[in-house]
């Protein structure tokens, strides 16, 4: 299990049932060490709030360790190296958001499974774009800041969107 160095800053929390490991395909990933039940809290993110403009000027390492939590606001752990910052995207995730800083299991998760969530549930910046390499049969091939607008994703992830995105979805209806 990853244990912070003595004196190292901790700004996030992760369940003792998860850890991270380095992989060839995706860098560091978070995976289950023990069974995780549907609805169980997996981790909470921590950091500082920065604007989208500040995010675009942040070092890439810090930008990669951020999550959009509100219109034009992102929670960024900066240069702190924490397990919680290593959760990757998947088009077929086993985890979803609960509020602005928590990740919970969307279904039961077995030991050895990678913990993933769909970035469509958190990122609504129209400039956000990344190639997807999740390898799932239903892989979208790319993830954008407009994916939250997709009706099938809105249905699939109901209850797991960032609150600001849920407000956008509700305003559409």
Q: Is the per-residue pLDDT at 1 higher than 50?
A: no
Confidence category of residue 9, pLDDT binned at 50, 70, 90: low
Supply the range of the domain harboring residue 146: 13-172
- Give pLDDT, residue 2: 47
Q: CB atoms < 10 A from the CB of 155, how many?
A: 8
- Give pLDDT, residue 171: 95
Residue 49 lies in a domain: yes
Query: Rounded mean pLDDT of 28-41?
Result: 97
Residue 125 lies in a domain: yes
Reported as a single tens digit per residue, the pLDDT across 93-137 is 999 999 999 999 999 999 999 999 999 999 999 999 999 999 999
Residue 152 lies in a domain: yes
Q: Is the per-residue pLDDT at 86 higher than 60?
A: yes
Query: Rounded mean pLDDT of 70-88?
Result: 89
Confidence category of residue 8, pLDDT binned at 50, 70, 90: low
Residue 59 lies in a domain: yes
What's the chain's average pLDDT?
Answer: 92
CATH number at 104 reads: 2.170.270.10
Determine phi and psi for 86, rounding to 5 degrees: -110, 20
CB contact at 8 A, 78 and 99: no
Residue 116 lies in a domain: yes
Residue 132 lies in a domain: yes
**How far is residue 173's CA from residue 155's CA, in Å, rounded to a whole number?**
13
Residue 1 lies in a domain: no
Residue 18 lies in a domain: yes
Give first-to-last CA distance, the chain, whole Å: 45
Count of domains for the chain: 1
């Amino acid at each position: 299990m990853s244990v912070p160095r003595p004196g190292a800053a901790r700004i996030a929390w992760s369940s003792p049932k998860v850890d991270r490991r380095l992989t060839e395909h995706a860098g560091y990933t978070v995976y289950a060490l023990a069974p995780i039940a549907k609805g169980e809290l997996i981790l909470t993110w921590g950091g500082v709030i920065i604007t989208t403009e500040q995010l675009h000027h942040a070092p890439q390492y810090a930008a990669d360790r951020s999550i959009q939590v509100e219109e034009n606001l992102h929670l960024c752990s900066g240069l702190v190296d924490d397990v919680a910052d290593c959760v990757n995207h998947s088009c077929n995730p086993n985890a979803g958001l609960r509020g602005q800083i928590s990740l919970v299991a969307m279904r039961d998760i077995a030991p050895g499974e990678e913990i993933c969530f769909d970035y469509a549930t958190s990122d609504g910046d129209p400039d956000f774009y990344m190639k997807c390499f999740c390898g799932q049969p239903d892989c979208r091939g790319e993830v954008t800041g407009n994916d939250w607008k997709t009706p099938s994703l809105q249905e699939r992830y109901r209850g797991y969107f960032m609150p600001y995105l849920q407000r956008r979805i509700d305003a559409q209806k």
